[in-house]
Structure 1
């Protein structure tokens, strides 16, 4: 099923998208990447007037593509009233400037476009600081040597967000601002780390939903927890992490976390910029890799997510693959994907398959749990309550000295209760 493409802004910019491939074997992959760039452009509020996939026979340092191709595209830009050209490849600052002069309009690359979307969507103080920091690092080399004033671009895509009030800063002021923002982030992350350690003092497992952007992570989060995370057919709707409590069928409580979606060619500085959302995944006991089966290309999207998890050093975490949007596909098995034992099939929107998913989460978490006997004195009622909330109690015997429990407890939190351990009777 195709996404309903609607620009998300009343101020619509007319865009030309330019993709490049180096040989015929790459062409199909770059066609898919260009289609994704179209979704990104719509998410940023653009109307895509024209798409061009060009063969890059020779690399041109000054303009990336050859002068003849630039002239051909410039003619189309003028004839169609296009006011922004978006390249699916990263452009150097020099290429960016030269292409703007030759096209006579604003030119941005994929990284600049994604940064713009991030700037529109960040809500928390930390998220806004992260966006501004990433924008300024992206902007810095583009100020080199000529006093380039981004304000002449007239606003719109590529100039929005927390950094837009400082668009004419020189390199020294940009570096100073980067230094100040970095210090702010260090303080915020230290504060968040204190909260995380307090949270880890309570023995409760954390499960994070990861996946490609627009896979339905927020819909699943809302369906399971009623979190109220914004949902739309646009990319990168979720940037700030959301964490909610959820009770599993066994009675065990977990923390369920939503994370930012991954995408092809996700720039490293963006991964670094939104460290907070990945931090939740890094602290998780289990990852749910949500996969959209309603669109073709699932195998490639799975590969992208796995590569990013590897880059974040999260590929060693226990993981369940969850194939979503089965209500939109009569054949839920994705083409080119080898299924493995434990794969789940759901429709987060319709609620199909969620009971089986939660049972699978229960079972997967239980693999890291051990069966232990505890004697909890009557005076330690709070400990008894914690055990019931954050472990699976198998058997209870009330006695004069206290309560004898047989329970499955996570290895991660066993130390919290080990002083109450006793031999089974």
Structure 2
């Protein structure tokens, strides 16, 4: 004989079963058609590196600065600025839509320089952004809505992997122009200029201001002048991405040459800035987006539309990192200290390039490695093939992307010799 509880449980079982079935159907119908996304290339490298048990394994895939011991590095000026911010006991209220004003004003000064005519005239619209990626996204949305020309943006071949995704999601058509020459492991200057001249009139062109990512190949100042002329001839719109100001050469003014030259030549570019690399504020996501306009009145209208774009994206940018960056940029003593630290980071990168080339030559390598020292910035294109990069990982526990790009920041005084030996063994 069944108890009342057992009977109730038995009666409820079909209902529970139906409910579970209905929930399963709903879940399946909602998500069953979603395809599996491809794995992130850098994440895959990091995972393989972590699993490797080799005591002298080397990770050259990371896109962040490391000190000569291979450890994450927080700039002393950042520590000091952060302490100043904390001791002010500031509130945590929202910033305005365009961010912390003291930061954006200083960011524009750093980028465009104290002699900038548009800066003096008050005709540069600027907003704080979620680092450089956020700046690119705001710029893409603005151009898609308001640029009077074709909604096509040309990016270099190759370019930072996220450029295509950011601009495609901004509903811009993404096309490419020649930039890197595999045969010379250098700049395809003639191809680049020819492609610029063949673009439809009034096209949008993305330019890396310095330390081209991923190749480390930059135009010379004379080449930048010629590029500016070609852009002007085609009535194209230049969009600069400047993620490494100061980090490339160690000189913030030198690294801003291309942007400032274009402005002097009468272009009205827009700019994406990042303070991730040159201040080591990776996780703070500090950046800025700016546009050079023709007048303060035009700037006011552009600024109003930037606010309209930002509002539904994230409403207000975070304040802490911007306050730290602002303190560094506006405090004369801290600013001087920071510039010295940036130069120190750049110098270490340049030294590692020289040591790698020197070690390869000492080993008797038959290949030419001048491109290692000719390139600049955090990344270098080695010229190694995908097959050779696989051998580096599988046989020598040296990890980097399959296209031959290495993060020079991952090279140290302790591992540069083993790295050179590993490259030598697979190249001869």
Q: Could you state the TM-score of these two structures normalised by the residue count of structure 2?
A: 0.26
More helix by share: 2
Q: Could you state the TM-score of these two structures normalised by the residue count of structure 1?
A: 0.26
Query: Which structure has the higher relative contact order (CA within 8 Å, separation 6+)?
Result: 2
